[in-house]
Amino acid sequence: MKLGTLAGMMIWMASAAAAQTGITVMLSNQAHVPAAMLTEAQRVAGRVFEDAGISVTWIDCARPEFQAGDGHCKETGDPMVLVLNILTKDRREAGSSGAMGFAFPMLGAGTHAAILFPRLKQFADSYVDIPGTAALLGYAIAHELGHLLLKNLEHGPGVMKAGWARSEYVSMCRGQMGFTPAQVSQMHSGLRTRMQTLMARN
Ligand SMILES: [Zn+2]
């Protein structure tokens, strides 16, 4: 049995053991990522979380009822509702150099993350033979939301790997990268805490 298959099985077992739970992601597409690419990226990220037993409901902050102005998402304060901004500016002060995004797991309810689309595009464009910008965006989204759900900025194997190169990019395009069983378990534990926070507040 190939290691990848075994890891896949372990992830499946970890997700089967955990009760299916869901998060909502409010997404602000400030970088004007083309709709087809964004839809595919959401499908990829959604499947990565689905494999971890976490369903994702996407909300488009372009819709007036979810918009706070300037294209930003209306704040809900709900720890089960994450906010993801896809930024058009290359904010060099944000994250490590070359990072495609950043997250604030320790700030407030730990609900804010962003993708630096120009850097992501630059990475994708450096591999002209791999047509996978949408998959890359999907995995970058899964990575940053992963930081929020894991409640840390640590890196590890799979989706949470720090630096991505050709081999990771190829794995993404094949849909072969996921969260490890330990990460899955930690995310579910974090989600239970978020749920308790929400219930205690209501
Ligand atoms: Zn990271």
Report pLDDT for 194: 93
**Structure confidence by residue, pLDDT tens digits, 7-16:** 544 444 444 4
* CATH 3.30.1490.100 corresponds to the domain 3-195: no
* Distance from Cα 153 to the centre of ligand 1, integer Å: 6
Residue spans per domain, the chain: 3-195
Report pLDDT for 97: 61
Give per-residue burial for 166-188: e unless 16+ CB within 10 Å, then b: eebbebbbeeebbbbbebbbbbb
* Distance from Cα 145 to the centre of ligand 1, integer Å: 9
Distance CA 43, CA 46 (A): 5
* Distance from Cα 146 to the centre of ligand 1, integer Å: 8
* Distance from Cα 65 to the centre of ligand 1, integer Å: 31
